[in-house]
Chains A and B, each alone.
Chain A
Amino acid sequence: MITINGLNKIYTNGTKAVDQLSLQINEREILALLGPNGAGKSSTIKILTTLSGFDDGEVTVAGYDIDREPEKVRQSIGYVAQETGVDYFLTGRENLELQGHLYRMKKPEIKSRIEELGQYFEIADVLDNLVSSYSGGMRRKLDIATALIHRPKILFLDEPTLGLDTQSRQSLWKYIRKLNDELGLTILLTTHYLEEADKLSNRVAIIDKGHIKVIDKPDALKDDISGDVVSLQFQDPQNKNDIVNAMRSNDFVMDTMWEKDKLHLYVSNGATSIPRLIENCNEIKADVINVSYQRPTLDDVFIKYTGSSIDATEEGEEKWWEKWAGKGGGGMWAKKWQQANAESEDDAKVWTTEEAEEWHKNKNWSKEEAAEWNDNKQWTAEESAAWHAEQKNEAKTDTKEASGIDNPSDDKELTKEASEDWHKNKEWSQEEAAQWNQNKQWSAEESAAWHSDKDDSQSAKKKKQDSETSWPKNN
C-alpha cells in the first residue's frame, strides 16, 4: 500500500530528519512508527501525506507516485495531525461539510456520510455544537471523522492519543482497531507510547535518527530479545568496558546495553544467572546498587535498537539539585543535599541524645565493649558520684549474697578446728563484729582477757589523744 525506498529529507537548517529510510506497508495492516521526539516520525508522515517535500528517494502511496501524482495520493489518504485540525469556531457538522466540499463531494453524499460518521464515532448528538465546547476525546474523534469523510484507503495518524486521558485513549484505540477490522483501512500511526504500539499495531517499526532500526510484529520483536532482561545498576561505573567484558565471559549473556549507570543484560535465564553476575561484579569490584529482572517488554526492544529507553529521551536525567547547582544558583542547598546524600551512604548518622539513650538502653553490652566505653568515657562529677553510690549498694548486696552462700555457720555443723580457723582468717567488718559480740556468750576467761586488752588499747588511745590536742597549745 505504501512503499518507501531510500528516502532522505534534510531541512534548510541542516537537520537530517529522514536518513535513507525504506519501509513497506501492506494493505489492511496497522503499522506503528515508534520513536522518541525528533526521531523523524512526523517528518516521514508529512512527506507521505504530501505536506512536505523530500530530497531523495522513491515513494508510492496507494499505488501513486507521490512526486508525480500528488492529487491522486491526496484523494486516497486521510490525515489526522498532532494538532487538532478542526476549527473551534465552527460546529462539528460545518467542519465535516467543509472537508467534504474540499474533497469535491456532492452535497447529498456529504450529508449521508456525516450521518454515518456521526453514528460511527458516537458524536451525532453534538454535531451541531461549536467544537470549542467539545472535550479533548470528542475533538479527536471529530478530527478522525473529518479525515475519513471521503472514504480514504489509508489513514495517517500522527500521535493520535497525545495529551488524552487514559480513558479517552483506550476508547480511541477501540475505534482505530474497528476502522481496521470493519472498514479494512490501512493505518500508519506514529507514537512514542510503547503500550499504544504494542496493543494497536500489527507491526512496529522502531525509528531513531531518521532511520528504521527494526520492523516486525511486537511479539516477534520481544521474542527476538529471547530470554530475560537483567538490569544491574552500578554505583558510578567508571570502567564500563571491564564490566561488560566480565559479564560477557558468561556464555548465557547474549547481549548487553548501557543506559546511563544501568547495564541491561539479555540472558537466557534471569533467575539462575543473577548470582553468577553479581559474583562477577564483586570480582572486578564494581559496585552494584540495584538488580532487577523482567520478561522483555517493547521498551527493552527499543533500548536494544536505539541504546536508550524511550522514556529517558522524554525527561531530564539530572536530579533537580544537580541541575540547580549546575546553573550556579542555590549552591548552599545543593551542597547540603549532596552532603546529606553522601552521609547516608557512609552510614554516618547524626544521633540526637534521645536516640542515643534509647539505643544504649536496648543494647546488650559485651564486657569488652563496656570496658572500652568506660575507658573512653569522660565522667562528670555527678555521674561519677551517682555511679559510685550505685556501685556500693551493689557491693553490699553482693557480700550479703555471698555470705548467705558462704557463711558456714548457717547451714553447716562445723568442727571446732574448722570454726576457729575460719574465724581467724575472716576479716570482720565492724557490723559483723558487733553482731557477733552480741550473739556471743562469753566465758569468764575470755571476758577477762578481752577487758585487759581493751584497757590497754583504751589508755594508749587516750594518751595519744591528749598529746595531739595539747600539742598546738604549746606552740
Chain B
Amino acid sequence: MLADTWYLFNKYVKISMRMPLWSLFSLIQPLLWLFIFGALFNNFATLPGFPADTYIDYFVPGVLIMTVLFGSSWAGVSLLREISAGTVDKMLVSPASRTAIVLSRVLHSAVQAVIQAFIVLVAAWLMGANTNFNPVYIFMAMFVILLLGIAFAALSNGLAIKLQREEPLVIMGNLMTLPLMFFSSAMVPEQFMPNWIHAIGSFNPIEYATSAVRAALSTTPDFHAFSIGFGVTLLFAVGTLYWAISAFKSIQD
C-alpha cells in the first residue's frame, strides 16, 4: 500500500510540476487577502482588548488556514475528471491498493497546500508581520496545516464520489469553506464575536486548527492550546480520510 501510494503520489507531483503556472495562480488569492485584509482591518488593532499589536500580526495564522481551505477543497474535481478519463478504472483493474489511490490524491493536495502556506508565510515576513519564525514552531504549524489539508481534500474527494458531478461538488465546496471560516477566529478574535457565533465555533474543526496554528506561531507559544487544537485536527483528518476511502471502495458496487 505504501509503495502504491508513493508511485501514485509521484504521478500527481509530476503532473503538478508540468503546470507550475497553475500552482502559482492559486497563490494569488491568499496573498491578496493578506494584503487587502491587512490594510482594511488595520484599525482593528487600536480597539481595546485586541490580542495583537497590529492586525496583520493577528491575521497571519488565519490567512494560512484560508490558504489550505481554498487550496484543498477542490481536490475532488480532478478525481471526477480522472474517472471520466478512464484512468481511475485503469488503477482499479490493477491490484493496486484502493486505499493508496485515495491516500495519494489527498496527500498530494495537502502537500501542495503546505507549500503554498509556506510561501504565504514568507510573504507575511516580508510585509513585516511580527510572528514567531522559529523553525520548530513553523514546523508545528505546518503539520497542523498538513492535517487540515488532508481533511478537506478527503472531504472533497469523498463528496466527488457521492455526488458524481462537478457542479454540486463546487457548490458544496463553497458551502463548506466560507461559513466555516467565518465561524472561526481566523479573521476576528473571539472576544469580538457575538456569543452565538462563538458557541458554534466550538464545534468547528477549523477553529481548532486556527487556534493550534496561532498558538504555535505566537511570540509566546502556548503548548496547551496547541495540543488541543492539534488533537482535534488530527481526529478530523483521520475521520474524513476513512470516510473518503470507504466511499471510494463503494464505487465498485
Contact = CB atoms under 8 A, between A and B. Distances in A.
Contacts of B91: 102
A77 B253 contact: no
Contact of B87 (A52, A71, A74, A86): A86
Interface stretch (B7-15, B67-75, B153-161, B204-212): B7-15
Contacts of A52: 252-253
Contacts of B14: 89-90, 94
Given A81-B86, A83-B84, A74 B94 contact: yes
B3 to A, nearest CB: 7
A74 B93 contact: yes
Contacts of B94: 74, 99, 102-103
The binding surface of chain B is classed by DSSP as helix
Contacts of B84: 83
Interface residues of B, number: 23
B224 interface: no
> Which of B7, B15, B94 counts the most chain A CB atoms within 10 A?
B94
A128 to B, nearest CB: 13
A104 interface: yes
A98 B7 contact: yes
A354 to B, nearest CB: 61
A94 B91 CA distance: 14
A85 B90 contact: yes
B85 A102 contact: no
B95 interface: yes
A78 B19 CA distance: 31
Nearest to B15: A89
A147 B92 CA distance: 12
Contact of B86 (A83, A90, A104): A83
A50 B4 CA distance: 19
B7 A81 contact: no
A78 B93 CA distance: 8
B138 interface: no
Contacts of A94: 11, 14
A99 B90 contact: yes
A216 interface: no
Contact of B85 (A75, A77, A78, A84): A84
> Which of B18, B91, B92 counts the most chain A CB atoms within 10 A?
B92
Contacts of A88: 85
A82 interface: yes
A87 interface: yes
A89 B19 CA distance: 9
Contact of A102 (B4, B19, B252): B4
Interface string B80-119: 0000111101111111100000000000000000000000
A90 B15 contact: yes
Contacts of B93: 49-51, 74, 77-79
Nearest to A55: B253
A191 interface: no
Interface string B1-41: 00110011001001100110000000000000000000000
Contacts of A89: 14-15, 18-19
Contacts of B18: 89, 130
Nearest to A88: B85
Given A51-B89, A99-B94, 8 more contacts: A74-B95, A86-B87, A87-B85, A89-B18, A98-B7, A99-B90, A102-B7, A102-B8
Interface of B: 3-4, 7-8, 11, 14-15, 18-19, 84-87, 89-96, 252-253
23 contacts: A51-B92, A51-B252, A53-B253, A74-B93, A79-B93, A81-B89, A83-B89, A84-B85, A86-B87, A87-B15, A87-B87, A88-B85, A89-B14, A98-B7, A99-B94, A101-B4, A101-B7, A102-B4, A102-B91, A103-B95, A104-B3, A130-B18, A146-B90
